[in-house]
């Protein structure tokens, strides 16, 4: 379940206005909200990497690896030319067409004929692998290099773009608090032109704290910055210890 953008914005305004500390316009909020969502989204991978190196418990709701993976599941996509026409073009190197795959954020796995998972290799590794008959890639055990939006698949006899499948993390859509202007000049929420946060509702408190930290900078209020930053730091410590 996504986080309602109207709930976040009105909560932020309520906290700011409680002691008449200042105001955050919808346009300011929208820019800050997009940055906050991206910051939280980018941390998932680092947090997941850290948790894989930490002993886990098997409690149903307190397994941190499971919880982070659930947070990421809405951003995971798997496509090929059958599901998204023109997503992958060329005859090796293949091109992931970003005009078609507009939400590509980070490439995950590359598969050949949907079955054999290809191994990622860097350019210097590929040179070494190709030199030895024992390590040369085959159609049963292909490898790939990903540079500047292009997939170099080895062996180079693989030339059909329709045989290539990819998984990736998509970039979250920017949250937008859409609005109209009322008869008194006030901003009125418009659900039809709004976009909710794509983060799960479990992140709502984290989102509000981070938006407030930015709001404190905008209205030049060190107290708001301190309180919000403290809440963010507490949340991060609790999630890692």
Q: Do 179 and 68 reside in the same domain of the chain? A: yes
Tell me which of 121, 147, 170 is where a domain ends.
Answer: 170
Considering the domain architecture, whether residues 56 and 94 belong to the same structural domain is answered as: no
C-alpha distance from residue 237 to each of 39, 44, 113, 201, 224 (Å): 16, 14, 43, 20, 20
d(CA 95, CA 166): 12
- Specify whether 162 is located in the same domain as 182: no
Of the residues 127, 149, 170, the one at which a domain ends:
170
> What tens digit of pLDDT does each residue of 182-222 get?
888 889 999 999 999 999 998 999 999 999 888 877 666 66
Range of the domain at 33: 2-72+174-240
Q: What is the pLDDT of residues 109-163, one digit of tens each?
A: 899 987 666 677 788 888 888 888 888 888 888 888 898 889 999 999 999 999 9
> What is the Cα–Cα distance from 178 to 188, expressed in whole angstroms?
8
DSSP state of 174: P
Cβ-based neighbours of 199, under 8 Å, separated by 6 or more: 2, 3, 37, 40, 41, 71, 172, 207
Considering the domain architecture, whether residues 105 and 155 belong to the same structural domain is answered as yes
Residues 56-80 pLDDT 10s: 666 666 667 777 778 888 899 999 9
Same domain, yes or no, for 34 and 65?
yes
124/195 same-domain check: no
Based on the domain organization, do 138 and 26 belong to the same domain? no
Tell me, yes or no, whether 65 and 179 share the same domain: yes
Residues 215 and 146 both lie in one domain: no
119 burial type by CB count under 10 A (0-12 exposed, 13-18 middle, 19+ buried): middle
Are 57 and 88 members of one domain? no
So what's the pLDDT on residue 32? 95
Number of structural domains in the chain:
2
- Single out the residue in 170, 190, 223 at which a domain terminates: 170
């Amino acid at each position: 379940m996504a986080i309602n953008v109207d709930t976040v914005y009105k909560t932020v305004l309520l906290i700011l206005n409680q002691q008449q500390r200042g105001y955050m316009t919808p346009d300011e909020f929208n820019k800050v909200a997009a940055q906050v969502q991206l910051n939280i989204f980018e941390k998932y991978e680092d947090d997941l990497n850290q948790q894989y190196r930490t002993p886990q418990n098997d409690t149903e709701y307190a397994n941190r690896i499971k919880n982070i993976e659930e947070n990421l599941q809405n951003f995971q996509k798997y496509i090929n030319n059958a599901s998204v026409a023109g997503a992958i073009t060329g005859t090796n190197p293949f091109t992931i067409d970003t005009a078609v795959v507009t939400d590509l954020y980070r490439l995950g796995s590359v598969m050949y004929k949907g079955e054999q998972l290809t191994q990622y290799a860097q350019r210097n590794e590929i040179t070494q692998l190709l030199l030895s008959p024992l390590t040369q890639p085959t159609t049963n055990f292909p490898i790939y290099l990903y540079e500047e939006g292009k997939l170099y698949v080895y062996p180079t006899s693989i030339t059909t773009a329709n045989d290539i499948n990819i998984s990736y993390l998509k970039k979250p859509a920017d949250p937008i608090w859409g609005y109209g202007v009322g008869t008194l000049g006030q901003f009125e929420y418009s659900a039809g032109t709004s976009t909710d946060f794509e983060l799960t509702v479990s992140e709502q408190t984290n989102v509000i704290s981070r938006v407030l930290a930015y709001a404190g900078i905008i209205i030049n209020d060190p107290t708001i910055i301190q309180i919000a930053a403290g809440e963010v730091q507490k949340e991060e410590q609790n999630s890692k210890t």
